[in-house]
Structure 1
């Protein structure tokens, strides 16, 4: 019997999306923030509508959690798609200055139009949008160099839209994470669950942890793909030749007194904290 689909309860997200649509009327620049571990799965299908004719910047946060080889692969791939990806690590401030400068430059055309109409320049208004827990609030705190919005490595912390003055030249709207009301791609849903980017969700931890192991095997032969042997190094449990489900079973038996649920939670927690090393769950399409 197949496992039930991953589900979430987007009541507050639907409300936030309506509020976001209203505030977008005031926005000059859209910062689309994605999780560098899963750049494709954290692309919201409504982004193109939200951007419209506005300037847009693609931000790949958590760049520290993927190998540098994969970071370069994605940079090249996005460039081939006509996009420049700005890689950031909001926890430690890497890439933040570049992002702030890019946002100001993106708003230059807006102020030039104001001058052409005899109006005074004003701060560029930007909005950070993306899935829950991709690091939008942490980015804002880094841009300000102080903690002014609540930020945590768990989804659903930001529940209301809030304008924050970054500088005399830049204002930024902190928006709650938004999920599609329906995500038919369960492979993408599993990746979101593995990375904890899914908000208020209902899913089977054992299924998600097993999928993590299977994903490591799927990508093992690709340049930049993780070596599943990191699991043996971390837990001392043989992984060679095992499916995710079989490995989780053995991990539970050998390390957690037969408790598969505890094994699943530990495996997911270690991945999310980076204790397994820098691991990308998506590589550029070939």
Structure 2
């Protein structure tokens, strides 16, 4: 299975985003808490350059406090401060706003030093599709202004919105590399619904999810997150199966042998958190 997805609206948005970045003071890089490494755009450091950057790890509700602490420690070791948010419920939003405003204070001090008038800080939210950028912006605004939904490709064009007298924010469509060289990361994007459904096969992706959960079982047993989520949810132990074998067995057990229906159910259950708060990535050791 090879996963590639680069629709025309993303290519157009990327060109416009690069142009708008010239006007921006601070970049809010939004990632998915379940896969914070896979949702880092490899070209972002080049785009951001010397601008201030605020690292936002969204979907806090999809990981456990123990996993959050592991990532916090790891990012701090890399010299970064992660801001964890749940944009759907508004958690962590105040801290993100403060971080953006602090970047604006520094920007305006430089303007004053050059004899220029202060102005609102211009920020932009950048991230892969469906990581929660629009939901984050609505929370920052305190009202629903931009369209938001838990599926990739909702935002199609760039739009400036004023959050307050201090901050203007640019909402942009999700951006993704033109070529996904790392297919392991691409599969995780598919599992988490951070890439268009037309790019992958549900059955193959669901089978890979089973295998990833099997690989993570040792970590789960150490109490980092709930162990045996598939056995708990479906009353069918995956231990003795391959990913595809488990999918077939689960289809026979619950859906009269309908493997496609089973694959969709499994992926939807993971995406909605019905298997529990489970990360697909942990900090490198």
TM-score by length of 2: 0.97
Counterpart position of 2:256: 257
Structure 1 counterpart SS, 2:75: helix
Change (3 A) 1:239 1:248: same
- Find the aligned partners of 2:128 and 2:165 in 1 and give their Cα distance: 28
1:90 to 87, 90, 108: 87
- Find the aligned partners of 1:227 and 1:253 in 2 and give their Cα distance: 26
Shift of 1:198: 1.1
5+ long unaligned stretches in structure 1:
none
1:36 to 30, 33, 37: 33
Counterpart position of 2:18: 21
Q: Do the aligned residues in 2 keep the contact of 1:164 with 1:171 (CA within 8 Å)?
A: yes
Answer yes or no: is 1:120 the counterpart of 2:117.
yes
Count of equivalent residues:
283
Answer yes or no: is 1:176 the counterpart of 2:170.
no
Counterpart position of 1:268: 267
Q: CA RMSD in A?
A: 1.2
- Find the aligned partners of 1:143 and 1:109 in 2 and give their Cα distance: 21
- Find the aligned partners of 1:25 and 1:280 in 2 and give their Cα distance: 35
Structure 2 counterpart SS, 1:8: coil
Answer yes or no: is 1:139 the counterpart of 2:141.
no
Q: Do the aligned residues in 2 keep the contact of 1:130 with 1:178 (CA within 8 Å)?
A: yes
Structure 1 counterpart SS, 2:271: helix
Q: Do the aligned residues in 1 keep the contact of 2:58 with 2:86 (CA within 8 Å)?
A: yes
5+ long unaligned stretches in structure 2:
none
Answer yes or no: is 1:199 the counterpart of 2:199.
no
Residues 67-121 of structure 1: CA deviation (Å, up to 9, x unaligned): 1100000000000000000000000000000000000001211100111122211
TM-score by length of 1: 0.96
**Displaced runs of 4+ in structure 1, greater than 3 A?**
223-228
Structure 1 counterpart SS, 2:163: strand
Mapping 1:45-124, distance limit 5 Å? 45-124=42-121
Counterpart position of 1:241: 240
